[in-house]
A = this chain, B = another copy of it.
């Protein structure tokens, strides 16, 4: 185990570190770049390095369990009520993700554990990816690339027509920061934007539909940018897809569980909808193999946030939130109000 401590060579300072609140880095080793770059006088980082899980870490050294005041976790390891039970002193969870569906939020509320997220660090990247997937599906870009790479020197090109994007009617599901960024971009393609959200937003002038079904009925494209929770699970069901129709396209940069994936497969295979751009899946990393033979889908391995520029910014957001929390200040990017 490696420890990032705040000491210089002085014994006195080293002693002080042991009295600082402990922050456990609960991420796979390759994610340790989220570690704040500078030591802090407010907290002390426990970085288990090679060890795969918090459970194993505690099992190896049980006295740590009660000393951990905060964890920094990724969505690879779900933060369940069982795991939280191991950490009686936990007061903060930081998750460097846009969604919090891997954290048991109701248990956090009950125990008054605060949750901080990445804020809007990834919003632009996710919006860029949503637009990229939409153009790709409409204009068959990945299919075209596959067509050229797999036909060895064809003597002529005979590639099917795509569907125009400019001017299309776009329905955005979830008009938070990501949805707004998607809208801003697609307005420049002369697209007509409508949206569905928990509530109508007074700051948004685009038409609001209180149901996704109604939104699908009135648009050519659905772009899913909302959080996954009990209200939004399978918000895109068979009825919504049939309402979107044979030329309709679904782009999902939210979470796989927003769509009834079995129905999506059937609708894609049967031509009940036109196509789909999917960055997320219902049981990741499982991708239904029926999708692999379809030319009207573009598949992406939950990569909407994967840019080097944004990843370089994560550690700063982690540091700012931890510093604020352990100085008894409000979180910089709270993900949940306790």
Contact = CB atoms under 8 A, between A and B. Distances in A.
Interface string A294-328: 00001111110011111100000000000000000
A142 B190 CA distance: 25
Contacts of A161: 306-308, 311
B184 A128 contact: no
Contacts of A289: 152-153
Contact of A301 (B127, B133, B147): B147
Contacts of A154: 285
Q: How large is the interface on A (under 10, 10 to 19, 20 to 34, 35 or more residues)?
A: 35 or more
Nearest to A155: B285
A128 B135 contact: yes
Contact of A300 (B141, B188, B189): B141
Interface in A108-143: 124-125, 127-129, 131-133, 135-136, 138-142
Contacts of A165: 128
Contacts of A131: 131, 135
A132 B136 contact: yes
Contacts of A145: 142, 146, 298-300
A149 interface: yes
Nearest to A309: B164
A157 B285 contact: yes
Contact of A309 (B152, B160, B163, B308): B163
Contacts of A300: 141, 144-145, 148
A166 interface: yes
Number of copies: 2
Looking at A152, A184, A186, A309, which has the most chain B CB atoms within 10 Å of its CB? A309
Given A153-B286, A185-B189, A187-B188, A303 B140 contact: yes
Interface in A251-306: 284-287, 289, 292, 298-303, 306
B307 A148 contact: no
A159 B128 contact: no
A156 interface: yes
A75 to B, nearest CB: 12
Nearest to A279: B144
A162 interface: yes
A148 B309 contact: no
Contacts of A133: 141
Sorted nearest first, the 6 A-B pairs with minimum C-beta distance are A132-B135, A188-B188, A124-B166, A164-B309, A157-B301, A164-B307
Interface of A: 30, 124-125, 127-129, 131-133, 135-136, 138-142, 144-149, 152-167, 184-190, 284-287, 289, 292, 298-303, 306-311
13 contacts: A125-B164, A125-B166, A131-B135, A139-B307, A141-B141, A141-B142, A141-B298, A145-B146, A145-B300, A147-B301, A148-B292, A153-B287, A161-B306
